[in-house]
Structure 1
C-alpha cells in the first residue's frame, strides 16, 4: 500500500489511497461479488449447503428408516405389550375354535362355521384398543420433544408406527389361524387353508390400520376407545350375518355395503363352505308320506328337478325324509356369499387398509400439524 501511494521512510504520499482503491480492478471485483450476494444469486452455491437449508437434517427415507428402527426397539423393550397381543390372539382362537369344535355337515353345523368366523371378527375392537396406549405415548414424546427440534417429520413418525405393527399382527394372525381354523373345519385342501390364513392375517393388519385411523386425532386412549366401539358396532351389526341384507331396512343397506366385515366374512365363509356337503340331522328333515302306491322318489321327482334339496330315502313308501340343501353353497347364498367373489373380497379389504392409513395421515395433518389462523 505504501508503494502505491509513494510513501515510505524517505518519501511522502503523492496518491490518495481511497481513490486508488476505488479505481482498481480489485475494488470492482469486490463490489460485483457483494452485489451478487445481496441479490441471492451466488453462482458458486454449494449443493451441500443448499441441502442443509431444508427443514430436516436427513431426507425422508433416512428419517423413516431410523424412526422405524427405533420404534421396533421400543416395542422389543415393551414385552408386556407384545405378550398381551399374543395372549389375546391365542386365547380368543382357542375359545372360538373349541366353542364350534368339529362342526358337522348338518345345517346347524354350517351355521356354526359361519358364526365362528363372525366371532373372530368380534375381537376387532379389542385389537384396536391394544394399540391406543402405545401410540399415545409415542405421539406425546414426538410432539413435545422431537417435532419442535425438527428431528424428523410427522409423516415418518406416523408411517413408522404403522409399519412396526405389521409383523406382530402377522404373527398373532398365524396363531389365531392355528387355534381356530383346524378346530372348527379340520384339515382341508391346501389352497383353501392358505387362503383362510391370508384372510386371517389380513384381518389383523386391518385392525391395526383401523386403530391408527381412530387414534390419529384423539387426545387420549380413553376417548379413542369410545369412537372405536361406536364404529365397530356399526360395521359388526351390519355385516350380513345377524341379519341378511334382504331383511335390512332400505336405509341401512348402505351400511352392509360399506362395512369391511361384509367382504371379509363373505370371503372366508365362501372359502370354508364351498362344496361342503349338507347332511341334515333328524330335526332338520321334512318328513311326510307319499300317495299310496308311490315311492318317495317317484312322488318327488318333478319337485327335485327344480329344488336345491335332496331326498334321503327315495325308495321308501312312507316317512319320506327331505333335506332342504345339498351343499353349503346353497345355504350361504342367502347371506350373499359367493365362492367366485373370494379373491375380489380379499382385494377389497386391502383397499380398506389403504383407505384407513391414508385417512389417518390426512386427519393427523389437519388436526395436529396444520396451524389454522383464527379470526
Structure 2
C-alpha cells in the first residue's frame, strides 16, 4: 500500500510538471519506476557535498553512464537509486573507488558544463534592461475586475433565490395597497391634509422591513467571504460594494410598485409641483429602500449572528420613526431635539416628501387679506366653511419643514454613502482575521 501511495503522489507531481509547474522535492529509497519519473537529480553525500547534479534520462541511462565512467558500473537488474547510495558510501558497504565522489564531481566535464551554463544565465540576466519597479498588489486581479465578477455572482445568487425577492416585493406592495385603500382619493380638507402627511409617514416602515430581510442574507454571505478571504481572491471593499449593488435592481422594482400603489389611488400630485412632484416621490421612495439595504448591511456587519442583529431593529425603528419630524411637534430646544432630530435621516426624507406634496396645494378660495385662510363656500348664507390654511405650505411650516427638495435628496444620499463607507471599514477589519468566528 505504501508503494502504491508513493506512486500516486509521484504521478500527480508528474502531471503538474508537464503543465509547466516547477516542483522540487526529496525522496527516500525510491523504486526504479519512481526514480525514472523525475527529470533531474541532485545527489548529496555526508556534509551536504554535491556528488551529482544533472539529468536522469530514460531508464536512468544518463546517470548510469556518469557513474560507470568513474568506475561504478550499475548492473541492469539493480535499482540505480540504491546502487548510487552504495557507490558513494552512504550505505553499509564501502564506497566504490579510492577518491571522494565530491572531488570526482568537481573535476568532471558535467560540472564544468553546468558552471558554464550558470555563467551564461547570469550574463543574459545582466544584459537585460532593468524593469521599472511596480507596486505589488495584494490581489492578482484589478479592483474593477473583482467588482464585476463578485457583483455578477451576487446577482446570480439572488436570481436563484426567488423567495428572497418576492417576499420583499409582496410586503412592500401589501403595505402600500393597504394604506391606499384607507386613504382613497384624498381631497383638500384639513383632515385630508393630515391624511396625506400620515400616508407619507408609512414610507419610514420600509427600511425596518428590509433590514429584517437583509441581515440574515448579509451574515450568510459574510461567512462565505471570511472563508475565501485567506486566498486573497477579492478585497473586502469589493465584497461590501457588491453586496449593495446586487440589491439595487430589486429595490428599484419594489420602489416602483410601492410608488404606483401610493401616488395614484390617493390622488397625489395636486400641488404646485404637479407630476414632477410625483416623480420626486418615487426618487425618495427608492432612497428609503436603498437606505434600508445599507443600514441592514451595517447592522449585519457589526453583529456576530442573526440573533444579535435582530435586537437592533426595534430600537432603531422606534428612534428613527419618532424623531422623523412629523410624529412629535417641532421644537427648537430640548435635549433630544438638539441633536437627535438633526441626526435621524428620516427628517430630511419626510420633509422632502411632505413639502413636495403640499407645496402650493390650495385649500379653497381666498378669504380676506387681513385674516388669511380661506372660505370654502363663499356663496353660502349659513354654515360658513372656513380654513386657517390657504395653501399646504402653511401646514408643514410649523413642523420645521421647508420646500427644499434638492437639499433633502443630497442629505439622504450622503447618509447612504456614509453607511456604505462604514460597512466597508468594518469588513476591512473582518478580512484581517479570516479565521474569526462569524
Shared topology, TM-score over 0.5?
Answer: yes
CA contact (8 A) 2:375 2:384 kept: yes
**Which residue number in structure 2 is paired with residue 275 of structure 1?**
360
Give the TM-score of the pair, scaled to structure 2. 0.66
Q: Which residue is 2:387 aligned to?
A: 323
- Check the 8 A contact 1:263/1:348 in 2, yes or no: yes
Specify every segment of 5 or more residues in structure 1 that has no aligned partner in the other structure, as ranges: 1-16, 19-25, 281-296
TM-superposed deviation, 1:311: 4.0
2:22 paired residue number:
none
Structure 1 residue 222: Cα displacement: 2.2
| d(CA) in 1 for partners of 2:266, 2:221 | 39
Higher-helix-fraction structure: 1
1:237 alignment counterpart: 322
CA distance in 2, matches of 1:31, 1:363: 52
Note the alpha carbon deviations across 1:161-188, whole angstroms, 9 max, x for none. 1110111101110000001111223465
1:106 aligns to 2:204 (yes or no): no
Q: Note the C-alpha offset of 1:361.
A: 1.0
Partner of 1:74: 157
CA distance in 1 between partners of 2:127 and 2:232 (Å):
27
**Which residue of 2 is the match for residue 292 of structure 1?**
none
- Tell me what 1:174 maps to: 256
Classify 1:318/1:114 alpha carbon distance in 2 versus 1 (closer, same or farther; 3 Å): closer
Q: 2:341 is matched with which residue? A: 256
**Structure 1 residues 62-141: aligned runs within 5 Å:** 62-141=145-224
TM-fit CA distance, 1:192: 1.4
- 1:8 maps to none
Inter-partner Cα distance in structure 2 for 1:99 and 1:317? 34
Q: What CA deviation, in whole Å up to 9, does each residue of 1:52-94 have, x standing for no partner?
A: x743221221111111111110000011001111111111110
Indicate the SS of the match to 1:122: helix
Structure-1 separation of matches of 2:351 and 2:427: 32
Query: 1:310 deviation in Å?
Result: 2.3
Helix, strand or coil at the partner of 1:327? coil
Which residue matches 1:30? 119
> Quick one: structure 1 residues 311 and 82, their matched pair in 2 at CA, closer, same or farther if it must change by over 3 Å?
closer
Worse overlay, 179-188 or 74-83: 179-188
1:71–1:161 contact (8 Å) kept in structure 2 = yes
**TM-score with structure 1 setting the length:** 0.76
Q: Confirm whether residue 204 of structure 1 aligns to residue 293 of structure 2.
A: no
| SS class of match (1:348) | helix
Deviation at 1:44, TM superposition (A): 5.4
Q: Which runs of 5+ in 2 are unaligned?
A: 1-105, 108-114
- Shift in Å at residue 111 of structure 1? 0.5
Distance in 2 of aligned mates of 1:113 and 1:318: 29
Given candidates 304, 310, 331, the residue that maps to 1:246 is 331
Q: 2:294–2:416: 8 Å Cα contact kept in structure 1?
A: yes
Once residues 376 and 178 of structure 2 are traced to their aligned partners in structure 1, the CA distance between those partners, rounded to angstroms, is 35
> 1: distance between equivalents of 2:183 and 2:252?
24
Bigger relative CO (Cα 8 Å, ≥ 6 apart): 1
Question: Residue 413 of structure 2 corresponds to which residue in structure 1?
Answer: 350
Aligned residue pairs: how many? 325
For 1:338, the equivalent position in structure 2 comes to 402
Residue aligned with 2:264, SS: helix
Q: Does 1:165 align with 2:247?
A: yes
Specify the structure having the higher radius of gyration (Cα). Answer: 2
Over 3 Å counting, the alpha-carbon distance change for 1:184 and 1:214 in structure 2 is: same
Q: Distance between the aligned counterparts of 1:163 and 1:42, measured in 2?
A: 50
Cα distance change on mapping 1:191 and 1:60 into 2, 3 Å: same
**Whole-angstrom distance in 1 between the partners of 2:275 and 2:376:** 31
The residue that corresponds to 1:216 in the other structure is 301
Task: Give the match for residue 11 of structure 1.
Answer: none
